[in-house]
Structure 1
């Protein structure tokens, strides 16, 4: 059950992040601020894109774990809990 919750939480956060990235990209490219400020926006935007890619990998790993691991095995439960804790 906890695995399902973690997967859903990651999916929801990923959906929200993916929905705001286009708007942030537009603001960063149309900003009339100084070049240094725009560079800061570009770095922030790249950080958000990297976060999005990382969250995609975490989501895929958790989904795979739910489908393929024998969750009754205690060591598998601990590994899954560790992965979930790192993703939240």
Structure 2
């Protein structure tokens, strides 16, 4: 469990540093989908956006990040994709601590 949390944190740090900032006029959905495309996701991003928004809702309710990632693993059947959804949700959809 601790290893997964560390892996998720590391993955989020890597995603945050690797992804270029999209144009300021783009919507969070466009930015998220652009990021998913840049990492090689070729499916319909519209199916992932609700999952990313649900990640934020669960975080707001106090859910443990590892539990959220495990729920996504079940939904997506792809641990790597789940980790990118969590990272993207935090970057594009979840309110920042100073905005909450």
**Shorter-chain TM-score above 0.5:** no
Pick the structure with more helix per residue. 1
Q: Normalising by structure 1, report the TM-score.
A: 0.30
Q: Normalising by structure 2, report the TM-score.
A: 0.28
